[in-house]
Amino acid sequence: METSGQKIKTKALELGFSFCGFARAGSLEQERDFFVSYLREKRNAGLHYLERDPEKRTDPRLVFEGTQTVIGLLLNYFPKEILPEKDNFIISKYAYGKDYHEVLKERTNALILFMKEEYGSARSKAFVDRGPVLEKAWARQCGLGWTGKNTLLINPKKGSFHFIAIILTDLLFEPDTAETGHCGNCTLCVDTCPTGALEHPYVLNPSKCLSYLTIEEKAGIPEELMDKFHDRIYGCDICQDVCPYNRFAVPHAVNDFLPSPVLKSYRKQDWLQLTEKQFDSLFKDSAIHRIGYEKLIKNIRIAAGSL
């Protein structure tokens, strides 16, 4: 029997999530066709994990048996204070503080526990950027935003600086209305991408994207892109910074996402002299730690023009 999910939405907001929505579980036919073509044309660059379980990625019922509802959650990470960019190297805003996987995991687990308390035998499973779930597609189905020309989820009220969490549950809730696109004729993200990674609106070539190159690339940075870093050493927010919808972005209220005093004090000379011990201390709880010291140092040298 279909029930209202208002209690869940209210609890999600109490836990600090910015938005919560519901969608009926099923096969994402349009996304499946795109995804099959995407993999066949090898547009996933070195993101080979996307090749695993392609059918599961477009049907959550194959991921978690008994799934009836997909719950989409957004958590704002837009900082109150942007780290200094003058005489500095730049890291993406999402990596200022603690690893978002851990922060969202704690909150989704708390929401699942609440659902069990409210609905007894409810079975649910959370996904945060891991597992065969198309987070952006389901967030759109849940009415939380649309996929913009920069290929990121854009919420019409608060922009794109949000993490996405997905919960699959066997509870049946009234679905929200899927969001539709509102980019209109705007192409600022496409026009300002320094590497031309947005080859067409809604089409990203990961092998050119600064986020991919500074985080995921293992084979080496193409020489023709080495002068395109523009001081960026981990991630890139350019296509978000220019998006008109991000004029609605408001500072987050998550202490775990605040940068440390040491990180706030860093300037180019500090980065260039960074030791492995300092790296481990500064980023021990950060998503940046995953790429390792050697990768970050290589990014710094490329950005500094010394490689």
| Residues identified as active-site | 129
Residue 21 phi/psi, 5° resolution? -150, 170
- The Cα–Cα gap between 146 and 151 comes to 9
- The Cα–Cα gap between 97 and 5 comes to 32
Residue 125 phi/psi, 5° resolution? -145, 135
Instruction: Give 198's contacts (C-beta < 8 A, 6+ positions apart).
Output: 149, 150, 151, 189, 190, 204, 205, 239
Q: Which long-range contacts (CB under 8 A, 24 or more apart) does 194-203 make?
A: 194/228, 194/230, 194/238, 195/225, 195/228, 198/149, 198/150, 198/151, 198/239, 201/149, 202/147, 202/148, 202/149, 202/151, 203/151
Q: Which residue has the tokens 């499946």?
A: 32
Q: Which residue has the tokens 């029997």?
A: 1
Which among 196, 190, 125 is positioned nearest to 151, based on CA atoms? 190
CB 21 within 8 A of CB 71: yes
Which among 18, 14, 4, 54 is positioned nearest to 251, based on CA atoms? 18
Instruction: Give 101's contacts (C-beta < 8 A, 6+ positions apart).
Output: 128, 129, 130, 287
